[in-house]
Chains A and B, each alone.
Chain A
Amino acid sequence: MRWEGYVQDVEAIASGREELEAYRRLLVRDPSSLRFAEYADRLRRFGQLEDALAICQRGLARHPAYSTGRVVMGEILIDSGKAEEAEAEWRRALQLDPGHPRAHLRLGELYLSRGETDHAVAAFETALIHSPEFPEARARLAEVKGPSPTLRTEKPEPLEDRLRTAGARPEWLTADRFDDLVQRVAACPSVEAAALVDSSGSPLSGELSETVGGTTGEAPMSFLVGARALLSRLGAGRPRSALICSNTLSLRCVPLGDLALLAALRSRSPVGEADEQIEECIAGGERSEENEADADE
């Protein structure tokens, strides 16, 4: 009967009723739950720092790589007057998840308390780049820098608009054209291999793994998501494409609505040349749709 009352406790947490007790019962039933971080955070907010510390330590012993748990641990430590230990936890959180906005925010607040304003501004800016609508980070940045005629008065693109933008796949890119597009791109002189991936990075057509290593499209897709947030923060428009280069790989990522075209370029291919070839393939897809429409008429 371990799960008896579980749903009621989740509902109680969601509605704010008997919150602490509901969390406690929930963790008794499921000691491996990641909700330990939420519970510890609530205890901290109620000033029950010793209990919060104990819960968080127990949770992190089970889930040492849970970045949010590390952030909460840092918050408990800072409230307990242990600034250095708190900083170490937030830095550990950022090693686990470099884009954790709350870890950047808390580090920024710590820098600010030490009078390190430049570092604080950098931390708040980074938090906003990862999460452009993070109100606490926006408020802190405004406190430090004051209003600005450029970025800080600019409203972030609403979330639904960004999602809609991300989901706006070109009309011509229907499932029956996936293979054709990928084959055309893979046949470009500057391209070694190509693939079309969905929003989770799973390949819909083509194969990169032999060229790029044991990767799926997950990492490039997560790059594009991060780039979209960053451009929104900067007011710099939408991502059109990205190129990530090492000494052995040049990977071109082109967002196509909710999908992305990935192309591994041949070494020493001029970037401009490769771009033109790939753009021509995409334009070719658009033209083929127009031709089919004309033929139908």
Chain B
Amino acid sequence: MSSEPTTKNSGLGGTLDALMGIPGVLAGMVATDEGLPLAARLRTELDAEALAAAAAVLGQLGTRTLNATGRGDLEAVVLDASKFRFVVQPVSLGYLMVVTEPLAEADPVLGEMTNAAACLDEAGSALAEPRAA
């Protein structure tokens, strides 16, 4: 497998589209800290709003666990369930979450999500910059 990242900086939608191209990925989502969906791509019957809330809750649970250990800031949470795998990474806009099939390989997804998170952070800071007069 090529180590070349496939995710390019093309805004929220483009970044999620790139993630949806990874084998086994069923959904991609960017949600705010409060669980509000900002952008979503779904290939499952899962509900976008419930998923967005789940992304924020998983991010918060992971942060609390790490706070208790005092060992650094959250980089990712992977939750393996019998029907799906949920992968969450914090980004400047909130949380990036990808849902995959339960047996999909975790490492390629995590690698691509790190690229995607960097793209989203860039997009987020562009959104935060004041418009030129």
Interface residues of A (CB under 8 A from B): 98-99, 118-119, 121-123, 125-126, 128-130, 145, 148-152, 212-215, 218-220, 222-223, 226-227, 230-231, 233-249, 251, 270-272, 275
Contact indicator B72/A222 (Cβ below 8 Å) = no
Decide: A272 and B107 in contact? CB cutoff 8 A: yes
**Residue in chain B with minimal CB distance to A130:** B57
Residue contact B71 to A243, C-beta cutoff 8 Å: no
Distance of A129 Cα from B73 Cα, bound (Å) = 23
Residues of chain B having any CB pair with chain A under 8 Å:
32, 34-37, 45-47, 49-54, 56-58, 60-62, 64-84, 86, 102, 105-107, 110
Q: Is the CB of A243 within 8 A of B57?
A: no
> In the complex, A223→B77 CA distance in Å?
11
Q: Can you identify 11 A-B contacts, CB atoms within 8 angstroms?
A: A99-B60, A122-B37, A130-B57, A148-B47, A212-B69, A215-B68, A218-B68, A223-B61, A227-B79, A242-B78, A243-B77
Closest to B35 in A: A122
Residues of A within 8 A of B72 (CB): 246-249
The residue in chain A whose Cβ has the minimal distance to the Cβ of B84 is A236
Known contacts A126-B56, A126-B57, A234 near B51 by CB under 8 Å: yes
Q: How far is the CB of A249 from chain B (nearest CB, A)?
A: 4
User: CB-CB < 8 A to B66: which residues of A?
Assistant: 244, 246, 249
A275 contacts which chain B residues (CB < 8 A)? 106
Chain B residue, CB-CB nearest to A243: B78
Contact of A241 among B34, B62, B80 (CB under 8 A): B80
Q: B52 and A249: CB pair below 8 A?
A: no
Give bound CA distance, A251 to B36, whole Å: 28
Residue pair A230, B54 in contact (C-beta under 8 Å):
yes
> B-side binding surface: helix, strand, loop or mixed?
mixed
CA distance A249 to B65 in the complex (A): 11
Are A227 and B61 in contact, with the CB atoms below 8 A? Answer: yes
Query: Are A236 and B81 interface neighbours, CB within 8 A?
Result: yes
A28 to chain B, nearest CB (A): 37
Q: By the criterion CB–CB under 8 Å, are A249 and B80 in contact?
A: no
- In the bound complex, do residue B105 and residue A272 qualify as a contact, i.e. CB atoms below 8 Å apart? yes
Choose from B49, B69, B80, B81 the contact partner of A215 (Cβ within 8 Å): B69
Q: Give the docked Cα–Cα distance between A118 and B75 (Å).
A: 27
Are A247 and B75 within 8 A (Cβ)?
Answer: yes
Inter-chain CA distance A121–B76, complex, in Å, is 25
Across the interface, which residues of B come within 8 angstroms of A234, CB to CB?
46, 50-51, 54, 84
Complex Cα spacing A20 to B117, Å: 54
Q: Is the CB of A151 within 8 A of B74?
A: no
Q: Tell me the bound Cα distance from A123 to B110 in angstroms.
A: 28
Residues of B near A272 (CB, < 8 A) are 105-107
Chain A to chain B: the 10 pairs with minimum beta-carbon distance, closest first: A237-B82, A246-B72, A219-B68, A125-B53, A237-B83, A249-B71, A243-B78, A122-B35, A248-B72, A122-B36
- The minimal Cβ–Cβ distance linking A197 to chain B, given in whole angstroms, is 13
- Tell me the minimal C-beta distance from A143 to chain B in angstroms: 14
Give which listed residue, A129, A242, A271, contacts B53 with CB less than 8 A.
Answer: A129
Q: Is the CB of A118 within 8 A of B36?
A: yes
Measured between alpha carbons, how far is A230 from B47 in the docked complex, in Å? 13
Contact check: which of A119, A214, A239 meets B81 at CB < 8 Å? Answer: A239
In the bound complex, do residue B71 and residue A242 qualify as a contact, i.e. CB atoms below 8 Å apart? no
